[in-house]
Amino acid sequence: MLSSCGKFIIYYAGEADIQHPIIPRSDPEVKKITSYIPDTKHPGAIPIKYVRINFHIMQKSDGSGSFDEASGKKFCREMVEQSNNRWANNVKMNLPENNTTEVLPINIRVVLQKDPITGQDAIYFHKDDSLCFWNRSLKKGYASLSDQTVIKKYSVGGDSIINIFFMEHDPDSLNSLTYGDPTLSGISFGGSIKLFSMHLQSTLVKYRDDGTPFTHDTNFLSKLMNHELGHSLGLNHTWNWDDGCDDTPKNPGCWSVTGKAPCDGVVSNNMMDYNSSQQAVTPCQIGKMQYYLAKEEDGARKYIIPDWCEYHAFNRVVITKNENVVWSGMRDLLGDIEIRSGATLTIRSIVSLPEQAKIIVKPGGKLIIDDGIITNRCGDKWDGIQLWRDKKTNEIGIVEIANKGSIEQMVHYQPIVIDIIDTH
């Protein structure tokens, strides 16, 4: 039988432990979408982001014209559930045919907020004859697609919450022979969204080809909400122009297979196309949303719950032997980083660690801060860098800083021995 054991001295790194090698400066990649595509080997490096939302249901002054309070609250809660079910279940892209596009987790969820006064779910009902309806024929004015009067009047917490408004088609317009079908539609203004015809589509009885009746449920209707949320998180339509992602091919924009060209073959199932599925999200699209959620300015960071300010002991990111990992995009971690023997982690962007979190660099492991910053973005201090030294071989973890890299908001920045352990 063979056995091995070792004795390790663990201490916090000080300035004397930091090496400053000359490393050729590389082009900054902090704005590259590829820097934010999730790494399935290290899921904790891009943890789930929780987006705050609330709902507004527009009614006529007598309370008619849309959901009543009981059905409206039930509908909104189900929409949250179905929205998150879609975020949690990404599927393979249909296009291009025979593609090898990877299916990655979409680390985004929506959270229905509580009203700050009542403490109840933030589902609001507004009786307003002037602002309750939409008329798609209008180019401007209260009932037009792009008008934001209803948002400016009724939005709650718009500096940190995405406000979602449910509005119906104008009943008078629906009686017009030239208006057309009361189809679903929506528009995103970033921090607010207007969704049209949700009540009608959830209650209007339709018939399948075999004659059986149905109404659209929240599983179906949540597709539109997620599509518009995609816009709020930085995504564009994909079918007829360049959306900035090579893995979202242009397509004819077919809702479903009709048997007639150009909709007689495989149709798109991407969330940002108009199709009957809207379930697939590509790696590039995920990267774009994560970048938009990481940006301090001109992004969607203000709409997410800052859970990275709290220490989560079980959310450690571990870089294992023979791995050479580079983080070029901004990261908000929930727990510790552990760099094991023979592993290297290079940081070329802002990495935020919560209060109490630490970086562990074991003997033979290496941390390189190359034009990056390790800090705490919550106004607190993170614990520090723990170096492990093998008492027998004297091998120690290595920390290097180059190209104006820096360490900020750290509690321990001096060589203090904190433990001596034996491993078997």
- Confidence tier at 5 by pLDDT (50, 70, 90): low
**pLDDT number for residue 397:** 96
Model confidence pLDDT, tens digit, residues 362-387: 999 999 999 999 999 999 999 999 99
Model confidence pLDDT, tens digit, residues 246-304: 999 999 999 999 999 999 999 999 999 999 999 999 999 999 999 999 998 889 999 99
**pLDDT number for residue 414:** 64
**pLDDT number for residue 175:** 83
Residue type at 264 in one-letter notation? D
Residue 4 has pLDDT above 50, yes or no: no
Model confidence pLDDT, tens digit, residues 108-130: 999 999 999 999 999 999 999 99
Model confidence pLDDT, tens digit, residues 308-337: 999 999 999 999 999 999 999 999 999 999
DSSP sequence for 11-41: EE--GGGEE----------TT-GGGGS--TT
**CA–CA dist 371, 244 (Å, integer):** 26
Cis peptide preceding 262, ω within 30 of 0: yes
For a pLDDT cut of 70, what percent of the chain falls above it? 96
Which residue would you say has higher pLDDT here, 318 or 7?
318
State the SS3 of 278-326.
CCECCHHHHHHHHHHHHCCCCCCHHHECCHHHCCCCCCCEEECCCCEEE
Residue type at 203 in one-letter notation? T
**pLDDT number for residue 417:** 63
**CA–CA dist 115, 393 (Å, integer):** 60
What per-residue string of b and e applies to 358-367 under the rule 16 or more CB within 10 Å gives b? bbbbbbbbbb
Model confidence pLDDT, tens digit, residues 172-209: 888 888 888 888 999 999 999 999 999 999 998 888 88
**CA–CA dist 279, 367 (Å, integer):** 39
**CA–CA dist 368, 348 (Å, integer):** 9
**pLDDT number for residue 6:** 59
**pLDDT number for residue 194:** 98
DSSP sequence for 64-81: -SS--HHHHHHHHHHHHH
Looking at the DSSP bridge assignments, the partners of residue 10 are 388, 419
Of 11-25, 339-353, 402-416, which one has max mean pLDDT?
Answer: 339-353
**pLDDT number for residue 423:** 59
pTM (global) more than 0.85: yes
Tokens of 157: 């917490």
In the chain, the N- to C-terminal Cα span, in Å, equals: 13
**pLDDT number for residue 419:** 57
Compute CA 422 distance to the chain's CA centroid, rounded to the nearest angstrom. 42
- Confidence tier at 416 by pLDDT (50, 70, 90): low
**pLDDT number for residue 30:** 80
